[in-house]
């Protein structure tokens, strides 16, 4: 009987040894970590490197993105998830609202990546979703923005897995014509859901959503190519100086993701920083 109990306890200890990376537990995975990052210009990357202090100032006071030079680069949220889901040793990051069961989100500093934890402040990896305008806002664009900021818009935002920041009554002006919206691949899925809900009320207004990245979206706005620019980060000083004006429509978390086969479940902020700066290169180094 004692041998049986000892065997059971040994098995339990072996299982718990694989529940986290770093800290109190260990892993025997000596495989190299495949670091996957978003492209330059991505708002998700901009927010990620800022939140994890991967972006740092040099001696001249200039902000430098120190993302590992050997990182694989993806150009969209969907490509990021596909890349991580197909590589057992990969690590990446996506909008929390885009998370699905093809990948696993890691706990950061002991907190799970969830809307509830963002709201109570325990999960601190969060950023704003912005829509930007230029100059005098046209009535049809203003009507859409009023819908997004209303109780009806808030319901769409919350049901999509994001955090609504406004709410109120909405009265439609029944606009017609066409609006072009361009930018962040993290914000565009939410905008698409808001567009669909808005179309039920105002079918005469055509809304075209062009998905790229935050920088491209804001540049398209500044160049007069679109009516609304999408950014999954705060706007840069240079963009504000050129006349872009942001409106926060929602808050979103950033999920640090790994392959579903990975035994790692939790990392500290410092470990994430070191991984994405190329200072930690193997999974078993996280247990040292």
Dump pLDDT digits (tens) for 38-72.
999 999 999 999 999 999 998 888 899 999 999 99
Q: What is the pLDDT of residue 14?
A: 42
Q: What is the pLDDT of residue 6?
A: 45
Q: Which stretches of the chain score pLDDT less than 50? A: 1-19, 22-27, 288
String of b and e for 24-63 (b: at least 16 CB within 10 Å)?
ebebebeeebbbbbbeebbbbbbbbbbbbebbeeeeeeee
Taking the C-alpha atoms of residue 159 and residue 152, their distance in angstroms, rounded to an integer, is 11
Q: Is the pTM of this model over 0.75?
A: yes
CA distances in angstroms from 222 to 145, 225, 244, listed in the order given: 19, 8, 7
Q: What is the pLDDT of residue 30?
A: 83
Q: What is the pLDDT of residue 75?
A: 92
Per-residue pLDDT of 121-165, as tens digits, reads 999 999 999 999 999 999 999 999 999 999 999 999 999 989 999
What are the helix (H) ranges across 149-268? 151-159, 188-201, 214-222, 237-241
Closest-CA residue to 46 (of 19, 31, 24, 64): 64
Q: What is the pLDDT of residue 263?
A: 92
Q: What is the pLDDT of residue 25?
A: 37
Contact 209, 191 (CB under 8 A): yes
CA distances in angstroms from 15 to 5, 12, 20, 21, 246, listed in the order given: 15, 5, 10, 13, 48
């Amino acid at each position: 009987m004692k041998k049986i109990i000892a065997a059971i306890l040994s098995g339990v200890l072996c299982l718990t040894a694989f529940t986290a990376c770093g800290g109190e537990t260990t892993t025997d995975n000596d495989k190299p970590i495949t670091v996957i990052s978003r492209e330059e210009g991505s708002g998700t990357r901009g927010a990620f490197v800022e939140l994890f202090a991967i972006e740092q100032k040099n001696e001249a006071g200039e902000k430098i993105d120190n993302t590992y030079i050997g990182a694989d680069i993806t150009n969209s949220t969907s490509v990021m998830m596909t890349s991580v889901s197909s590589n057992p040793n990969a690590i990446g990051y996506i909008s929390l609202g885009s998370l699905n069961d093809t990948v696993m989100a890691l706990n950061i500093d002991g907190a799970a990546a969830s809307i509830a934890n963002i709201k109570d402040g325990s999960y601190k990896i969060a950023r704003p979703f912005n829509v930007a305008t230029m100059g005098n806002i046209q009535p049809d664009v203003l009507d859409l923005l009023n819908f997004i900021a209303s109780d009806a818009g808030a319901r769409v935002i919350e049901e999509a897995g994001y955090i609504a920041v406004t709410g109120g009554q909405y009265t439609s002006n029944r606009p017609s014509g066409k609006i072009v919206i361009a930018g962040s691949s993290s914000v565009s899925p939410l905008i698409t859901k808001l567009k669909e809900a808005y179309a039920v009320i105002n079918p005469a207004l055509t809304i075209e959503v062009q998905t790229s990245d935050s920088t491209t979206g804001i540049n398209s706005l500044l160049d007069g190519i679109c009516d609304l620019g999408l950014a999954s980060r705060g706007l840069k000083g240079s963009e504000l100086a050129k006349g872009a004006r942001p409106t926060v429509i929602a808050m979103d978390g950033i999920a640090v993701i790994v392959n579903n086969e990975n035994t790692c479940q939790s990392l500290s902020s410092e470990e994430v920083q070191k991984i994405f700066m190329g200072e930690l290169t193997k999974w078993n180094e996280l247990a040292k």
